[in-house]
Amino acid sequence: MNKNLKILLVDDHSVVRHGVSVLLKKAFDGVTITHADNFDELLSKLNQKQDLIFLDINLPGGNSTKMIEEIRKNHPDLLIMMFSAYDESRYALRYIHAGANGFLNKYSKDEEIIKAVQSLLESGKYISDVVKEIILENALLKKPVNPLEKLSDREIEVAELLVNGDGNLEISNKLNIQMSTVSTFKTRIFDKLSINNVVKLVEILRVYKN
């Protein structure tokens, strides 16, 4: 194990950073921990060589998977562990496909966090049991990785307007369709994405809609 391991913890909640920091210092001898609470600070701290970063999805100044693309421009070999409270089954593959080396849920047990770091250092990747199951399911059932692929172009239009805060009447006027048709589209969207409210729709579009 690298005795001079350098890890950057990037999260806008100090309690999360300090909790993970304590855990990592106990698990890895000689590890150096650096903190950042927004994307600009992250980029600045990367000027000091880092081996691995824990990167929150919902980060001030960050922009979904575009953060990974920006980091990779100047640090192609940096190990990136997405560290989020968001649903792993919904978000992990999106970020791994974008270039992250792994995805770890913030509610993971201490042993799982340590195991994930060891896996990254030894193999350059970390795939949890949840993600392995999703990959297998996608392969066997040919399920789309991006849930928005289930929606038609018109359903995407309606979904974007719902996320922007438009009601059925506003959507009806903007798309020149009946209000009853808007309601039908909304029901289809929720059913296809297995959600039941606009808040969850906002999460999905923020991550999957480029």
User: Is-contact 160 152, C-beta < 8 A?
Assistant: no
Last residue of a domain, one of 139, 159, 192: 139
CA 104 to each of CA 35, 53, 54, 184: distance values in angstroms, whole numbers, following the listed order: 18, 12, 9, 36
CA-angle at 43, arms to 41 and 45, nearest 5°? 70
Q: Among 29, 9, 13, which residue's Cα sits nearest to residue 21? A: 9
Burial 146-166 (b: 16+ CB within 10 A, else e): ebbeebeeebebbbebbbeeb
Q: What backbone torsions phi and psi does residue 85 show, to the nearest 5 degrees? A: -90, -5
Report the run of H or E that residue 53 belongs to, with start and end. strand 52-55
Mean pLDDT of 173-196: 95
Q: The CATH number of the domain where 172 resides is what?
A: 1.10.10.10
Same-domain check for residues 89 and 176: no
- Looking at the structure, tell me whether residues 172 and 74 fall in a common domain: no
How does residue 192 score in pLDDT terms, banded at 50, 70 and 90?
Answer: very high
Q: Which residue, 96, 120, 139, sits at the end of a domain? A: 139
The pLDDT assigned to 62 comes to 86
User: Based on the domain organization, do 157 and 200 belong to the same domain?
Assistant: yes
pLDDT attached to residue 210: 56
Q: How many CA atoms lie within 13 A of 42 on its CB side?
A: 27
In the structure encoding, which two tokens stand for residue 74, read together?
A: 């100047």
The answer on 75 and 120 residing in a single domain is: yes
50 lies in the same domain as 131: yes
> In this structure, are 84 and 168 located in the same domain?
no
Residues 103 and 160 occupy one common structural domain: no
Domain boundary among 139, 164, 190: 139
Position 1 in a domain:
no
Strand partners, 32: 6
What percent of the chain stands above pLDDT 90? 70
CA distance 185 to 68: 33
Q: Are residues 116 and 181 in the same domain?
A: no
Inside any domain, residue 38: yes
How far, in Å, are 38, 59, 89, 105, 198 from residue 35 at the CA level? 10, 13, 27, 19, 33
- pLDDT surpassing 90 at residue 146: no
Q: How many distinct structural domains can be found in the chain?
A: 2
Q: Is residue 14 part of a domain?
A: yes
- Let me know if 54 is exposed, middle or buried by CB neighbors in 10 A (0-12, 13-18, 19+): buried
pLDDT at 2: 59
**Residue 50, domain member (yes or no):** yes
Containing structural domain, residue 86: 6-139
Mean per-residue pLDDT, 143-157: 82
Q: Which of 114, 65, 111 is nearest to 86 (CA)?
A: 65
Cα distances from 33 to residues 25, 48, 138, 174, in angstroms, run 8, 12, 37, 51
Q: What is the pTM of this model?
A: 0.73
